[in-house]
Structure 1
Amino acid sequence: MLTQFRRKPLLLMLAVIVLAVSLWPAGAMAYVPYDTNYRDSYKRLVWTQSAYNPVEVMGREIYIPDPKDPSKQVFSPLVQPKDLFIDEKDNIYIADSGNNRIVQLDPDGKLVRILDVKESPMKKPEGLFIDGKGDIYVADTGNKRVIRLDSNGKLLKEYKRPESKFLPEAFKYDPIKLVVDKRGFLYIATLGGYQGLLQLDPEGNFQSFFGANKTEFSVMDAFKRMVYTREMYLREISKLPGSVASVTIDKGGLIYTATKEIATGQIKKLNIAGKDLLSAKDEYTDKVTTKAFGEVRFPPSDKNQKPQLSDLTVDSDGNITAIDSTLKYVNQYDATGNLLFYWGGDVSASATKLGVVKTPSAIANNSKNELFILDEENNAVQRFRLSEFGALVHQANQLTQEGRYEDSEKYWQEVLRLNAYYTPAVLGLAKAAYKKGEFEKAQALFKEAGFVQGYSDAFWQIRLIWFQKHFGLLMNVVIFGLILLLLFNRFTRKAAWRQKWRKRERSKNRLVIQLKHVFYILKHPIDGFSAIRYENKGSMASSMILLLAGMIAFGIMRVATDFTFNPNVVLEISMITVFTQFAVVWVGWVVANYLISTIYRGEGRFRDVIYGTSYAVFPFVIVGLPLTLLSSVMTLSEGAIYNFLENALYGWVFLLVFWKVQSMQNYGVGETAVNIVLSMITMTILGVLIFITFGLSNELWDFFYSVYQEVTIR
């Protein structure tokens, strides 16, 4: 009896564990050797559940007949495989570059056949494509050609370097990747081909270059163009656009390219006219901007290492998945180029783990939207299947992409329940709320998601509804107020108290007079600043008051401007940080400007520079504060008005500083401009020197402290 009594708690505990395991969501306990992440609109890193789970490794068990004894089988592994393609029947084709052959596996990863084209042997093939008829196109890189085989592996045609007067003589024809559209036109990525994809017709005639990248043009390039002579500029090393590293095509005929050596537009989605459909209009202007692709979880130890997207694939939902050959990440974006997930594991370990790809060289997907990644170092293919979380995100996002926002709502709610920090779910729910007319809810969700355009659109609807509801009352109040004002003015015009107010004595308090002088400066800046210099219209007390007022106004602008025009307000900007930045810039300018003015024949004293610079920031008070209030009732539709006022504010402050230097230092216009430029350069140099000094001081302190520790220990 005692033994049974002691066993009951143990049995009860086992029963609870079994019940908990049975109720745990499927896949939730699956272990994956990598972290899956997302980066939100504010570039904050978010950990998510795994989007894909590794399933198996394929392509390792390849046996072929022994050439010496066909009755026997010999092991013939993949060697430096370069490309991967999955046809409509989910058969897997591998460009086995090291063995100069094509390996075909069935959907389960079992060997079907080896294609080596004995009548015209391949040499280092790096690209593959199978069209709808089953014809096999191979980028036979070592032989500088593309070959076309029928479904049985028989050579049908070879595409060598086309003869065309439009093809530059310097063009090197080394095909590495290719696709073929429904017309039979070939789009070939060549090694170092900065001109774009080489487009050939079905007969192999040159048509054009397609989807070329643009050359990046920096500020230094613009400077060189202005100051260099033609001979000097011609001696410069030519800047070339990045060459296309890989290409794929979707069922709709849109062509996707991946490029390594550029900072933006690494992935392009090109229509038949070569227009990039992933480029988007900026939320604040009509200017088309190019997105940046390739994610980084943490800055790499080698700062020169940057994302290098070497291959990509597009699934049946239009989601784009690209592999990073440098940082070893897998990056997935939706059909419009918005990030969904990215993941990667530790590739430094010597042992190979299922799910960790050491050297990804190619990626493809099958009809089930499973991912297959070719590992060049391990000579194998890894298969990844969508997790329940990943499938849920794909389903919800697909409905959103199709404009079925209300249908997607329940799926996004489930995604958000599983991961409260996954921003695409918040954005999907915001779009659903907007579609249903729940504009206040949509506005809050758009703000949480960091989507300014949606936030602005929702507020526009809220504002419109409010005006429609209160317009009559608002107009009645305005008209009644104007009538009251007219009557008040008419009947009190000759009142004794108004006469007394008009004849009131002006304040004789010196500080008040000095503070009022700022308004005279706004109207007559040169005379006003001269009065500070020669008529003592300014003092340390008035200057510090105006400086403090300008600093507070600037801080309020930074932290209280509405989300529409200041998305960073969500990040809770610290007023202390803003004040510190303002004070550092102000002090740096005052010191630098005084030093330059002293050297450059200036007449102003140090206190004049302090007084004048303090008075010059007053526009932040009289324009910045009203502009901050105005931002809360404006939308992006009125963005041009807001931007004009904001730019006018900073322009006004700059002009006041300019006139302050001119009048107080007794300069001409040209001398003033030179003074300001030299002051800004000096301020920059001072900042760098202070930074270096503090850095060296810390190092010196650490050195003395380590010496002290050594002495005390011994």
Structure 2
Amino acid sequence: MRVRKLGVWLLLIVMLISSTMNVYAEEANQSYLYGPNNFVKAPVAAEPGRNIDHTTMGTTSLKKPSDLYATNEYLYIVDTGNNRILKLDEDYKLVKEYTEYEVKGVKTAFASPEGVYVDEQDQLFVADTNNNRIVKLSPQGDVIALFEKPQSKMLPTDFNYLPTKVVCDEAGRIFVCVKGFNMGLIELDRQGEFVQLLGASKVTYSITDAIWRLFSTKEQQKRMAAFVPAEYNNISVDADGFVYATTGTMSQNNKEGMKFVRKLNARGDDVLRRMDYDSVCGDLEFSNTGSIKGASQIVDCLTLSDGVYAILDQKRGRVFVYDSSGVMLFIFGELGQTEGTMTSPSSLVYFNNHFLVLDGVKNKIVSFNLTDYGRTILEACHYREKNELVQEEAAWQKVYAMNNNHPVIMREMGKIAYHERDMELAMYYFEQGEDQEGYSKAFQFYRRELINQYFTPVALSIIGLLILYMIYGMYKKYWCKKEKVVKKQGPFAYAFYVIFRPLDGFWDLKHEKRGSVKVAAGLMVALGGVFIIQSLCTSFIFNKVRIEDYNFMFDLLKAYAPLILWTGSTWCVSTLMDGEGSYKDIIMATGYSLTPMLIILPCVTLCSNFLIFDEGVLCTFFISVAYLWVGILLIASVMQTHNYSLKKTILVSLISLLVIVIILFILLLCIALMQEILAFVVDLKTEIVNRL
């Protein structure tokens, strides 16, 4: 009976998880955008057009095609499974087929080629993967040059040269992406001689990895030491000669060391601009359970004009388009078996005013036509790069009429209002677009206008109040003489004495009963309120919390979790180390120690609304003072509450912090274990459903 009940409960849990995942998938397939805090719905930017297969081209069936390249007049397809390169015209009709090349009278067939690049003279650079070389061909298919395996001491001796992608810049430099090679891109000169390794990434470990390493066995530590950087899987070059390289899926063991897309300069430095909330990685929100889980798998990067570029996610069949600042402009595409969907997209180009996506499983090309919404966004980006403000404003106004939720639109409208000196309107748009820097610039001018307008009446009012206060003081001094009555400070007012004279104050709290547990508890409760006020009332320049997305439970957790951990760990440690204070004494001392934060944080919150971005260091300074002050008071409270020496106080405090770290580690371990169990249950359910 119990087993049956347990099975029913497990089935209900799995059904609940499955229903949640289905809702997520339905939302994910809609047209959407990512803002700083969440994703928002957006109009469709590109619609599926015609499907282009071998019948349209006038050739035999494709087999595992892997790459596309487009010039102004021709489209090139790397048909890997058939060992050939196809050249199509603007009507997608076959113009020429490259299957082999001849060197000194000996013909060699392509062996699973995976990449092609075409220069301005229509000369082809083919990554002949299994022949271990780059082949440079004329438009007629004659061999111009063969670039064999490069020789250099920088390359491993057992280096297996399997070139998959190749591009060239205007200077004639050749960049090669090699399968199974994680030391970066290989740069060659015009003659195919080795120059350098470009953009090699470094392996970095997260804090979690470092903690796991402390508790790992020697065998586990060896496996962690074997973590290597991810290899590049595709490359492209823009009009300015910058190389864009993609890395596929980010390793869970190396989240900080790799990026999905890099923009490499001549030194190999990544100069790609990214928004603080958008790391140019495809989907920012995704499920970690189900048949399609985890982060995006980026397989191609397409550079367009005006600094715009697009990346292709093979895992979910989506194209993400970004501007030169790394802001996501729009998203289109999805997986499926119907017309206009993809199964395994492998390459992306823009040809004949259409986005073309190559499907390596369906063996055809899916075209996407820009809608008015998508086309107008690209026009606005063009006018912005050309600094044509009038046309840009008109374009953004048109986009705004179609979608007033787009963060990019809000920022661009703010810039236009800023140039027109309408600072109040600019501040509104910048706030809606989550542009703190732009808001700060507009607020600086707006603040100056307010000061110029109200300085004289405000200054005169302050002077008048000071004069009245002085007159009132003189009146009390000379006409209202009374005997001074010394009042003993109550438990609440005594908090101000404690924070300035902590040693005497904490001693009196316990031994002279000057404090109150109720007051201490009230101060602790007030801390949660202060954190909530700080989140809601801090200036937008220093805070991006939206009221509609705000959850006060996070602030309460941030306020009370450290207090619970500190009081609990201190009580445990002091009990074992002959401390004289009870848990009640610890609660009272800890509550009174929070007074500096209760005074300083609200003041900083208020002042933040009068400061600009560059003056934020003042807020940081006073917040740091508040935390440091509270830390000193907590140490003093341990010393006086338990009657410890300074040396023993420091020891007890350090041990208490260590206990907190251990508790947090155990909690994280339990959470990770629960996630693994949840993922196992979902995968088990998926497997059962698939088998049925």
**How many angstroms does 1:386 deviate by?**
0.9
Aligned pairs for 1:7-156 (under 5 A) are 35-42=30-37, 44-61=38-55, 76-89=60-73, 91-118=74-101, 119-156=107-144
Farther-moved stretch of structure 1 (668-677 vs 434-443): 668-677
Aligned residue for 1:376?
Answer: 360
Contact 1:34 1:355 in 2 (8 A): no
Q: 2 CA distance for matches of 1:173 and 1:681? A: 48
Q: 1 CA distance for matches of 2:230 and 2:177? A: 12
Q: 2 CA distance for matches of 1:693 and 1:371? A: 43
Q: 1 CA distance for matches of 2:205 and 2:39? A: 30
Contact 2:286 2:295 in 1 (8 A): no
Find the partner of 1:426 among 406, 410, 413: 410
Amino acid corresponding to residue 297 of structure 2 in structure 1: Q
Distance 1:541 1:496, change over 3 A: farther
Aligned residue for 2:685?
Answer: none
Aligned residue for 1:623?
Answer: 600
Distance 1:686 1:253, change over 3 A: closer
1:332 aligns with 2:330: no
Counterpart of 2:100 in 1: which secondary structure? coil
Aligned residue for 2:379?
Answer: 395
Q: 2 CA distance for matches of 1:530 and 1:675? A: 23
Aligned pairs for 1:544-583 (under 5 A) are 544-571=521-548, 573-575=550-552, 578-579=555-556, 582-583=559-560
**How many angstroms does 1:448 deviate by?**
1.1
1:586 aligns with 2:563: yes
Amino acid corresponding to residue 36 of structure 1 in structure 2: S
Aligned residue for 2:482?
Answer: 500
Q: 2 CA distance for matches of 1:312 and 1:292? A: 11
Q: 1 CA distance for matches of 2:509 and 2:272? A: 57
Distance 1:102 1:271, change over 3 A: same
Counterpart of 2:411 in 1: which secondary structure? helix
Contact 1:323 1:329 in 2 (8 A): yes
Aligned pairs for 1:370-519 (under 5 A) are 370-476=354-460, 491-492=474-475, 494-497=477-480, 499-500=481-482, 503-507=484-488, 513-519=490-496
Distance 1:477 1:297, change over 3 A: closer
**How many angstroms does 1:193 deviate by?**
2.5
The C-alpha deviation readout for 1:541-592, integer Å capped at 9, x for no partner, is 3223333333332322222112111111444535566446534553454334
Aligned residue for 2:344?
Answer: 359
Aligned residue for 2:198?
Answer: 210
Q: 2 CA distance for matches of 1:395 and 1:256? A: 23
Aligned residue for 2:641?
Answer: 664
The C-alpha deviation readout for 1:595-634, integer Å capped at 9, x for no partner, is 3332343221021011112112212221111111101101
Distance 1:415 1:353, change over 3 A: same
Contact 1:662 1:672 in 2 (8 A): no
Q: 1 CA distance for matches of 2:164 and 2:451? A: 61
Aligned pairs for 1:275-354 (under 5 A) are 275-279=269-273, 291-296=279-284, 298-302=286-290, 305-347=294-336, 352-354=337-339
The C-alpha deviation readout for 1:216-262, integer Å capped at 9, x for no partner, is 3322566799999x999889624433221111112232221111243
The C-alpha deviation readout for 1:322-345, integer Å capped at 9, x for no partner, is 111223222111122211122342
**How many angstroms does 1:478 deviate by?**
5.3
Aligned residue for 2:20?
Answer: none
Q: Which runs of 5+ in 2 are unaligned?
A: 1-27, 102-106, 676-692
Distance 1:96 1:161, change over 3 A: same
**How many angstroms does 1:200 deviate by?**
0.5
Distance 1:213 1:304, change over 3 A: farther
Distance 1:692 1:660, change over 3 A: farther
- TM-score, structure 1 normalization: 0.81
Aligned residue for 2:513?
Answer: 536
Aligned residue for 1:172?
Answer: 160
Aligned residue for 2:624?
Answer: 647
Contact 2:496 2:595 in 1 (8 A): no
Distance 1:232 1:553, change over 3 A: closer
Q: 1 CA distance for matches of 2:469 and 2:64? A: 87
Q: 2 CA distance for matches of 1:562 and 1:34? A: 36
Q: 2 CA distance for matches of 1:476 and 1:342? A: 57
Q: 1 CA distance for matches of 2:512 and 2:29? A: 72
Q: 1 CA distance for matches of 2:375 and 2:627? A: 50
Q: 1 CA distance for matches of 2:279 and 2:626? A: 31
Contact 1:267 1:293 in 2 (8 A): yes
Distance 1:652 1:618, change over 3 A: same
Contact 2:302 2:310 in 1 (8 A): yes
Q: 1 CA distance for matches of 2:133 and 2:311? A: 26
Q: 1 CA distance for matches of 2:442 and 2:651? A: 51
1:635 aligns with 2:575: no
- The number of residue pairs the alignment matches comes to 633
The C-alpha deviation readout for 1:131-150, integer Å capped at 9, x for no partner, is 00111000111111111111
Contact 1:199 1:206 in 2 (8 A): yes
Contact 1:559 1:575 in 2 (8 A): no
Contact 1:330 1:343 in 2 (8 A): yes
Contact 2:47 2:369 in 1 (8 A): yes
Q: 2 CA distance for matches of 1:451 and 1:63? A: 47
Contact 2:181 2:231 in 1 (8 A): yes
Contact 1:192 1:243 in 2 (8 A): yes
Contact 1:549 1:618 in 2 (8 A): no
Q: 2 CA distance for matches of 1:446 and 1:258? A: 31
Counterpart of 1:413 in 2: which secondary structure? helix
Aligned residue for 1:246?
Answer: 234
Aligned residue for 2:653?
Answer: 673
Contact 1:93 1:103 in 2 (8 A): yes
Amino acid corresponding to residue 126 of structure 2 in structure 1: V
Q: 2 CA distance for matches of 1:144 and 1:133? A: 25
Amino acid corresponding to residue 591 of structure 2 in structure 1: S
How many percent of aligned residue pairs carry the same amino acid? 26
Q: 1 CA distance for matches of 2:110 and 2:622? A: 66
Aligned residue for 2:246?
Answer: 258
Find the partner of 2:498 among 521, 526, 549: 521
Q: 1 CA distance for matches of 2:652 and 2:443? A: 46
Distance 1:411 1:672, change over 3 A: same
Aligned residue for 1:11?
Answer: none
Distance 1:683 1:232, change over 3 A: closer
**How many angstroms does 1:460 deviate by?**
0.9
Distance 1:454 1:169, change over 3 A: same
Aligned residue for 1:269?
Answer: 263
Distance 1:542 1:251, change over 3 A: closer
Q: Which runs of 5+ in 1 are unaligned?
A: 1-32, 65-74, 283-288, 696-714
**How many angstroms does 1:194 deviate by?**
2.1
- Higher alpha-carbon Rg: 1
